[in-house]
Each structure stands twice: as structure tokens, then as C-alpha cells.
Amino acid sequence: AQKVTQAQTEISVVEKEDVTLDCVYETRDTTYYLFWYKQPPSGELVFLIRRNSFDEQNEISGRYSWNFQKSTSSFNFTITASQVVDSAVYFCALSGNYKLTFGKGTLLTVNP
């Protein structure tokens, strides 16, 4: 069975702080993909990134960066110099068998 754990239920930071959201996964598949989604207060999930299990290179996109470590089954997400607009629920997800398994999400609040 697949499982995604986001241990941080809520995180609160002050604007311009860096923040890391943790994601740990379990799977028996040798080929899989990991995802991050953002859910702003409007409710719609916004796709942020997809990484495959064979590519452990870190990825950076603007203020966002992702650290994938297969040895610890983790796919952590860091926001550098956070902004109020980053306030949202963030979900980590794992692919397998034609569907995604989601973690319970981390509510990030960035205060001015």
C-alpha cells in the first residue's frame, strides 16, 4: 500500500522567512512520481512540480526548491523569502496504479 505523510499540520512564519515543508512517502514500486500541489483559500489545487523516482537532483524554480532523497523516502519543499501570497495548504502526492495518493496537507500561514 502507498502512503504519504506530512507530519506538519500547520506552520506559521513571518514574511521573508524561509520555510520547509516535509513529505515522507512509502511505496513498493520501483518507478513512481512525486508531486506537490498548492491549495489557496479559493480551493482549487494548483500543480507545482512532478519528479520521477530516478531523478534525485534538487530542483529550483524561483523562490521554490525541492529536495528529493530516495534514501530517506523524502521529498521536501522549501520556500525562500516567504510572502503573504504563499499562504495556502500544500499537499504532497505519490503516483501509482493510475492514481495519486495524497498526504493530509500542511497549512502554511505567512504573516506580514
The strand pairing partners of 67, in sequence order, are 76
List the grid coordinates of 40: 489557496
Integer angstrom CA distances of residue 66 from 39, 43, 78, 97: 18, 23, 6, 24
Neighbours of 49 (CB within 10 A): 16
Of 40-99, which residues contact other proteins (CB under 8 A)? Answer: 42-47, 50, 52, 91, 95-99
Interface stretch with other proteins, choices 12-20, 38-46, 64-72, 74-82 (CB under 8 A)? 38-46
Our CB check for other proteins shows the closer of 90 and 110 to be 90
List the grid coordinates of 12: 506559521
Question: Is residue 27 near other proteins by the rule CB under 8 A?
Answer: no
Quote the least distance from Cβ 16 to other proteins, whole Å: 28
Quote the least distance from Cβ 34 to other proteins, whole Å: 10
User: Residue 91 and residue 16: Cα distance in Å, rounded?
Assistant: 22
Name the residues that contact other proteins, by CB under 8 A.
4, 9, 31-33, 35, 37, 42-47, 50, 52, 91, 95-100, 102-105
